[in-house]
Amino acid sequence: MAKRKIIEIERDLCDGCGLCTTACMEGALELDEENKAVLVKEIFCDGLGACLDVCPTGALKVVERESKEYDPKATFEHVLKIRGGEAAEHVHGAEPAGRKPAPHFSGGCPGSRACEIAPEAGPKDAKQVSARSELTQWPIQLHLVSPVAPYFQKADLLIAADCTAFSFGSFHPDLLKGNKLIIACPKLDDTTGYMEKLAEILRRNDIRSLSVAIMTEPCCSGLFHLVEEAVALSGMRLTPRKIIVGIDGKIGS
């Protein structure tokens, strides 16, 4: 077994509402005989923490510890058995051999669905104007930025999931302008050390405000939770502002 991120439940805080059991697309959580949330099997938990958003008592958190690896194929079969085929389509990373995907998307992970987005209609003769970049520093990828870079000092900081800038057409004027930028992907990056580096950036630089832009996909919520953990680790009094971008390019809630 290797160390990885996995959900942990503080049993005394759980009030048995059951919201986490339905929020978890992988069916990794259920209520036991005492009406408390429990982990069904470690291999069903992808560690991305989509369930954290719905827990009203703070009983859930993502920790890093030794655990069996997440098994998307076994998880698909588990969800198929307990919830049916439509629910199994949403299992993170599952692509069972020999299974034909539904016509509107391919793959099992909601963030990997193939879909076509119709562009919004506009005047055919509208003049295309090149918008200016609001990026004021380099590098921007979390693996590459330095906690002691001078541009972070007293900055308004935007931490954005990689896909947000491509999905949200007004990313530069509406989100980036006036902010320093860090980008990361909670699903595809090796996030080892991310929390510690972010905590160091916050601790060293007297950050004035902190915003986190993520996509609507469940796997993307892991970035916001990582930032929350970094804030707690840093000891700084900051409340991250969450900005949710849909694949249709619209800001949601």
Q: How confident is the model at residue 184 (pLDDT cuts 50, 70, 90)?
A: very high
Query: What would the mean pLDDT of 101-112 be, rounded to a whole number?
Result: 45
Average per-residue pLDDT for the chain: 86
The dihedral built from the CA positions of residue 82, 14, 60 and 216, taken in this order, carries a sign that is positive
Count of domains observed in the chain: 2
Domain membership of residue 118 (yes or no) is no
Same domain, 6 and 81: yes
Same domain, 16 and 100: yes
State both tokens at 183: 């980008």
Q: Are 47 and 226 in contact (CB under 8 A)?
A: no
Specify the CATH number for the domain of residue 74. 3.30.70.20
SS3 220: helix
Same domain, 106 and 167: no
Query: What would the mean pLDDT of 13-18 be, rounded to a whole number?
Result: 92
pLDDT tens digits along 21-42: 988 989 999 999 999 999 999 9
Same domain, 162 and 87: no
Please tell me the predicted confidence (pLDDT) of residue 66. Answer: 94
- Choice between 103 and 85, residue whose per-residue pLDDT is larger: 85
Cα–Cα distances in Å, from 20 out to 38, 54, 57, 106, 172?
Answer: 10, 6, 11, 26, 35
Please tell me the predicted confidence (pLDDT) of residue 111. Answer: 54
72-86, 99-113, 207-221: least confidently modelled range: 99-113
Strand 60-67 with 2-9, pairing: antiparallel
Cα 101 to Cα 252: distance, rounded to the nearest angstrom: 28
SS3 45: coil
Cα 213 to Cα 146: distance, rounded to the nearest angstrom: 21
Specify the CATH number for the domain of residue 187. 3.40.1360
> 163, 169, 158, 172: which is closest to 250 by C-alpha?
169
Same domain, 159 and 219: yes
* CB neighbours of residue 109 within 10 Å: 21
Domain membership of residue 134 (yes or no) is no
Q: What are phi and psi of 165, to 5 degrees?
A: -65, -30
Tell me the whole-structure pTM to 2 decimals: 0.65
Of 93, 110, 127, the domain-final residue: 110
Question: Which residues face 158 on adjacent strands?
Answer: 181, 211
What are the b/e assignments for 121-148, b being 16+ CB within 10 Å? eeeeeeeeeeeeeeeeeeebebeebeee
pLDDT tens digits along 230-249: 999 999 999 999 999 998 88
Tell me which residue has tokens 């905590």: 199
pLDDT tens digits along 185-201: 988 888 888 999 999 99
Domain housing 49 = 2-110
Q: What are phi and psi of 170, to 5 degrees?
A: -100, 30
Q: Which helix (H) or strand (E) holds 157?
A: strand 156-161
Q: Percent of the chain scored above 70 by pLDDT?
A: 85
Instruction: Output the furthest CA–CA distance in the chain (Å, rounded).
Output: 65
Q: What is the CA radius of gyration of the chain?
A: 20
